[in-house]
């Protein structure tokens, strides 16, 4: 699959789900105007590249992700809470980098594509550790940015590829999409278990009477 094609597919699926009324389940607590601004900024920023003095090329989506992540992590929180989410982001970044590095050393560790397996593992950790949708997206955005930056520092031969390019965009969309799907599935499963247990207890009380 060519880089960027997965991003196109996941963006299309996300827009279809949001238009079909899944917004309250997939992105609760995020206003509609923020979603529209994000998708517009993502599509426009992906067309631009910025070149630093040392020759490193940065895609515009990196700026968008930083602009999304930092205000969410630090907005209306105490310093301790903000640092807690930043530390979670750095933890996910370290896991992300470790798995990518291990995938390069041992291709059989993560089957098919190391970046896809890394994305799924990071998504599962985020779904377990972080509850709110906007916090998941912010933490994963900061984690992938920091993890990718560290990976590029350790592997200077990869600097020819733009930071935040199509491959990174595929990883980000797969990670965030998988995290939200896992979180929604877990919440629905937990709600079903609570409903079933409550129903069983009510029937048990009725039988005892």
Least confident range from 46-60, 107-121, 144-158, 174-188: namely: 107-121
| Number of domains, the chain | 1
Residue 173 falls inside a structural domain: yes
SS3 content of the chain, % helix, strand, coil (to 5): 75, 5, 20
Using CA atoms, how far apart are residues 107 and 112, in angstroms rounded to an integer? 8
Using CA atoms, how far apart are residues 67 and 164, in angstroms rounded to an integer? 14
Q: Which domain holds residue 85?
A: 29-208
Q: What is the pLDDT of residues 122-152, one digit of tens each?
A: 999 999 998 888 889 999 999 999 998 888 8
| DSSP state letters, 178-209 | HHHHHHHHHHHHHHHHHHHHHHHHHHHHHHH-
Confidence band (pLDDT; 50, 70, 90) for 99?
confident
Residue 24 falls inside a structural domain: no
Task: Considering only CA atoms, give the Rg of the chain.
Answer: 20
Least confident range from 8-22, 53-67, 140-154: namely: 53-67
């Amino acid at each position: 699959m060519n880089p960027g094609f997965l991003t196109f597919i996941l963006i299309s699926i996300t827009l279809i789900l949001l238009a079909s009324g899944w917004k309250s389940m997939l992105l609760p607590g995020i206003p509609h105007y923020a979603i529209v601004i994000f998708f517009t900024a993502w599509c426009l920023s992906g067309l631009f590249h910025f070149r630093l003095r040392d020759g490193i090329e940065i895609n515009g989506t990196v700026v968008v992700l930083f602009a999304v992540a930092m205000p969410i992590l630090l907005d209306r929180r105490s310093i301790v809470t903000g640092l807690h989410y930043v530390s979670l982001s750095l933890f996910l970044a370290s896991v992300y980098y470790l798995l990518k590095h291990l995938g390069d050393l041992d291709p059989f560790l993560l089957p098919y594509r190391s970046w896809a397996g890394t994305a799924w593992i990071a998504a599962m950790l985020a779904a377990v550790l972080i509850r709110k949708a906007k916090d998941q997206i912010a933490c994963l955005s900061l984690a992938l940015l920091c993890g990718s930056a560290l990976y590029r520092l350790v592997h200077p031969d990869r600097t020819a590829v733009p930071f935040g390019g199509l491959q990174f965009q595929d990883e980000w969309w797969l990670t965030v999409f998988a995290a939200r799907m896992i979180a929604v599935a877990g919440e629905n499963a937990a709600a079903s278990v609570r409903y079933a247990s409550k129903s069983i207890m009510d029937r048990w009380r009725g039988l005892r009477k």
